[in-house]
Amino acid sequence: QVRLVESGGGLVQAGGSLRLSCVASGSIWSINVMGWYRQAPGKQRELVAGFRSGGRTDYADSVKGRFTISRDNAKNTVYLQMNSLKPEDTAVYYCRAVTSYDNWGQGTQVTVSS
C-alpha cells in the first residue's frame, strides 16, 4: 500500500525549532489526504496539520502561527516545520496518508524541555 517514514524528531528547549519529514513510497497515486498527528503519553492521538481535499491546509488551534505543513511532490515528501516549540508539544508525531486504508508511519519522538 503506502509506506511512510518519519524523521527529524529530537530533544529541544522551549522556543526552539524542529523540521519533521515524511517520505512516502508505494501506491502514492492513491493518496487522498495527508497529514501530521501527535500523541502524548496517556492522551488521544490528535490532528496537528493536514492537507484537505483540494490541497487546503488545516491546523490545530494550538499550533496555528507556529507550525507549517508543506510538501514536495517530486520528492514524495511532506514536511512539518515547528517553531516556538512549547513543552506541551511533546509527543510522538505520526505521518498519515489515507487511501482505501489508513496508512501510518512509525512515529518520531519530539521532546520539548522547559
Residue 111 has pLDDT above 80, yes or no: yes
Q: Could you tell me the pLDDT band of residue 32, with boundaries at 50, 70 and 90?
A: confident
Using CA atoms, how far apart are residues 49 and 39, in angstroms rounded to an integer?
13
pLDDT recorded at residue 54: 79
pLDDT recorded at residue 28: 86
pLDDT, greater one: 84 or 53 = 84
Q: How far apart are the first and last CA of the chain?
A: 40
Q: Could you tell me the pLDDT band of residue 110, with boundaries at 50, 70 and 90?
A: very high
Provide the strand spans (E) within the chain: 2-7, 10-13, 18-26, 33-39, 46-51, 57-59, 67-72, 77-82, 91-98, 102-104, 108-113
